[in-house]
Chains A and B, each alone.
Chain A
Amino acid sequence: MSAAEANVVENDSQNIGVGSSSQDESGEQYLTFIMADEEYGVDILKVQEIRGWEKTTPIPNAPNHIKGVINLRGTVVPIIDLRRCFGMDQVEYGPLTVVIVLKVDSSQNSRTMGIVVDAVSDVYSLDNESLQPAPNMGDSYDTSYIRGLATVGEKMVMLLEINELLDLDDIPNVNELKQQVAAAQASA
């Protein structure tokens, strides 16, 4: 499904209006998105809505990956640029760019944030048992924001723990990590 179709799809309950390849109720559902041809997944229950890119208001002296804030029906919501987080080249954002609005819980409160992704991909139901834990990458990589790895067809999908990932101060270079993980798995 293309980004344009995904534009402004609201997720009121659990079921998002995105085409799904599997409706198995036993596992958890993940919304996956594409960043530089790699697929990542987030817990679908955290997804509030999917909307098109719009101009943000930049925040002074914010870290690079904070694109700015937008008005989401009267509340001010920060937008996080995942390309920046993932250490990828910048692209021009346009009407086809997708923002996934997520609810992020921390110990004190829950916050609403948007992430800019290349495209929304699919919805998978994945059994918790079929997930592989993130391999131990040594001290140089914090893997706490990886919920697990899933293999769908021939692709490896990295499922993200967004509460950990969107800790504002320190967003890791996930792309690099994913390649490291893939390499580690291949050699295993």
Chain B
Amino acid sequence: MAVDVSQFYQVFFEESLEGLDNMESALMALDPQTIDAETINTIFRAAHSIKGGSATFGFTEVAAFTHVLETLLDEVREGSRALHADHVDLLLRSVDAMRLMIETLQAGDVIDPEDSKELKEQFEAILKGESFAGVTPQVAEEQAAPSTQNSTWQIHFAPHPEMLITGNEPIRMFRELSELGELHVECLTGELPSFESISPDSCYLSWNLTLQGCENLEEIKEVFEWVEDEADITYKSLKADEVKDYIQNAVDATGADNTVAPASDANQFMVDSMLQSPKNEVETPKAGPVETVVKEQPNVESISKNNAATTTTVAKTPPKPAEASIRVGTDKIDQLINLVGELVITQSMLGQLGEGDSEDFTQEKLLRLQEGLSQLEQNTRELQESVMRIRMLPISFSFSRFPRMVRDLSQRLNKKIDLVLQGEQTELDKTVMEKIGDPLVHLVRNSVDHGIESPADRVKAGKPEAGKVVLNAYHQGGNVVIEIKDDGAGLNRERILAKAIENGVVQAGDSLTDEQINDLIFQPGFSTAAEVSDVSGRGVGMDVVRRNIQELNGTVDVKSVAGKGSTFTIRLPLTLAILDGQLVRVGVENYIFPLVSIVESIQVNRNQLNRVAGGSQVLRLRNEYIPIVYLHEVYSTQADFHSIEEGLVVVVEFENNKFGIVVDDLLAQQQVVIKSLETNYRRVEGVSGATILGDGQVALIVDIAGLVKMGGATQALKQIESMVKRQPKVA
């Protein structure tokens, strides 16, 4: 039966990458002084699995590379080799190398053996340096010897009594032998004890076997391979002059004479692998499309009849480039199945109600119909939530790269840094996770590079030598909050201000709050690093970080205390696909407000309004002044209300500030599926997307941040702040 193993490639790639991630984090956790057995086991297991899989699926370069790695790890595991700190570095580098190899294969490209050659040689050098070096390929040449020209063999097979308890059945071996040639079996019952002392688990019989027509002793020995330690077996060639083929393979079960057995064992393995590796190459198509084409090309003309068959296999061979997939816990699947079950029940209940003609339809049926529909609504919502949950992954997927990154960075910058990861189990949509990766890297890098001071400076400032960077994630409402906190020097207020004045972002005379100054670092072209290092100064600024996060409907802000450190806080929606929305009406149009941004909605009196310099209106609400934005003005459309009393003010919160947005009416709350306007149109300022309502109409989703900015409310905020300063308490 031909099995096309290429169908398992994708799974292999994914589990290998996952294994490499595990290996990396285990290596990071490894302390060469006190090696934890389970940690080293985890590392070994990952390397071991990758080697096994890559050899099976014919990725010989990966297999060869992992082999040396595995040998080293095995020796460490067995305690026959001490692990040095530079071994860990080497192992980490090989994780990178293997990751590159797997990704290359995944993309359907061919691995360049040169890439990993140097690392491999370093491992081999370590292995040669001391202790047992594992199996070296040269041994394979010994393999030529054993085969002989004999065709008749006499075999004495005397199993030890306990052979049966390993499930080995002599009859199976005889059956197999009979496939190699003509077999005569003579059973020797001399050892049989008396009936009452027979133990049913024990084997008391032995056999004399004569096999005719088999030339290769190795084939015969293979039949007994699994029991050679549990039986006395002698092979005798019936050509008497071939004395050297008489191999005594009786090994005492207690292990008194082990000299022969391990040697033949090692030998046996090499035979296996020699037999298998060339075979693998023939049977498993190589992943690289280029190679395949070259291989197939010469055949095209000569065997035109087989051409069709040939080309189909060629087309099947290259793996599809990085097909996205996701691993889902079975509990999540079970939950889905349950929900679908409930849905089916609801459906059949509704179906029954629909049967019969209109006269049958009674008031009682109507009630049940309504009940059924509300059940359907609940089922649908739960199903939707469960399906969304499938896309949720713990943020540890994203965090896991940081221990390594911080370690490398701190080495390069000669800083001492403890990285603390918290809330790694916090779940986040896969798409959001993928897109938040780069901004996170940037922020962590920023904390390590600019935030944490050099050890000397820290000691001078009375802080512990080692700086601390904390990555934390947690859920808050419908959002995921990610914090990057460091105990470094904090943002340099003066330098930021100077830079902002230099860039013309602010005027020299402007009075700015600390928050406003901190916020300036998110302005384009803003880098205050005294010297541009190769760590942070890569031309990507905080403005890009903020923009990327805003594209995810998220926000980022920073709090900083001079000398104590900075905290960057990212807020992200749990998912990109669905939004809890509040439908509002302005004139003839309906808009969606993200429910998470809404604090409250109120009717206001004209006398609650103030006007600040610049003409903006602010609303006095309890103890706060809130800038007012008229949605219809910002969107250049028509509203029904003529004065604010006729409309409604929706109070929203964004970056810790409140704003009031004036609309005509508040309608239903509903979950909406987010559609991009950019697919067929383009990005629209003040609009984060669109959705399709129940009646088929398109409604736009309001980008609160954009709307507020366009409405000049951020300007008004500054006015309010100066107003509040003059008159600190509101009556």
Contact = CB atoms under 8 A, between A and B. Distances in A.
Interface of A: 55-62, 66, 68-71, 74-78, 111-113, 168
A103 to B, nearest CB: 10
A78 B692 contact: no
Nearest to A60: B635
B635 A61 contact: yes
Contacts of B692: 71, 74, 76
B684 A62 contact: yes
Most buried by A among B681, B692, B696, B700: B681
B685 A70 contact: no
Nearest to A168: B682
B690 interface: yes
B680 A76 contact: yes
17 contacts: A59-B681, A59-B684, A60-B687, A61-B684, A68-B698, A69-B690, A69-B698, A71-B692, A71-B697, A71-B698, A74-B675, A75-B680, A76-B679, A78-B680, A111-B681, A113-B680, A168-B681
Contacts of B690: 57, 69, 76
B636 interface: yes
B561 interface: no
Contacts of A168: 681-682
A69 B677 contact: yes
Interface residues of B, number: 23
B634 interface: yes
A59 B700 contact: yes
B699 interface: yes
A56 B697 CA distance: 8
Nearest to A59: B684
Nearest to B699: A57
Contacts of A66: 681
B682 A60 contact: no
Given A58-B589, A60-B636, A69-B681, 17 more contacts: A55-B697, A57-B589, A59-B681, A59-B684, A59-B700, A60-B635, A60-B686, A61-B686, A68-B698, A71-B697, A76-B675, A76-B692, A76-B698, A111-B679, A111-B680, A113-B681, A168-B681
Nearest to B693: A71
A60 B681 contact: no
Helix, strand, loop or mixed for chain B's interface?
Answer: loop
Contacts of A71: 692, 696-698
A70 B690 CA distance: 10
For the complex of A and B, 9 pairs with smallest distance between CB atoms? A60-B635, A57-B698, A78-B681, A111-B680, A76-B690, A71-B692, A76-B675, A112-B680, A71-B698
A59 B680 CA distance: 13
A112 B680 CA distance: 6
Contacts of A58: 589, 637
A60 B697 contact: no
Contacts of A62: 684
Interface in B218-250: none
A61 B681 contact: no
Contacts of B676: 76
A69 B681 CA distance: 9
Contact of B697 (A57, A77, A78): A57
B638 to A, nearest CB: 10
A110 to B, nearest CB: 9
Contacts of B686: 60-61
Contacts of A59: 677, 681, 684, 687, 700
Contacts of B679: 75-76, 111
B712 to A, nearest CB: 14
Contacts of B684: 59-62
Given A71-B692, A75-B675, A76-B690, A57 B680 contact: no
A70 to B, nearest CB: 6
A60 B700 contact: yes
Interface in B696-718: 696-700
A62 B700 CA distance: 13
A169 B564 CA distance: 49
A78 B681 CA distance: 6
Most buried by B among A56, A69, A70: A69
B511 to A, nearest CB: 33
B601 to A, nearest CB: 21
Most buried by B among A58, A60, A111, A113: A60
A57 B677 CA distance: 12
A23 to B, nearest CB: 32
A10 to B, nearest CB: 18
Contacts of A74: 675, 692
Contacts of A113: 680-681
A76 to B, nearest CB: 5
Given A69-B690, A71-B697, A71-B698, A61 B685 contact: yes
A60 B634 contact: yes
Contacts of B682: 168
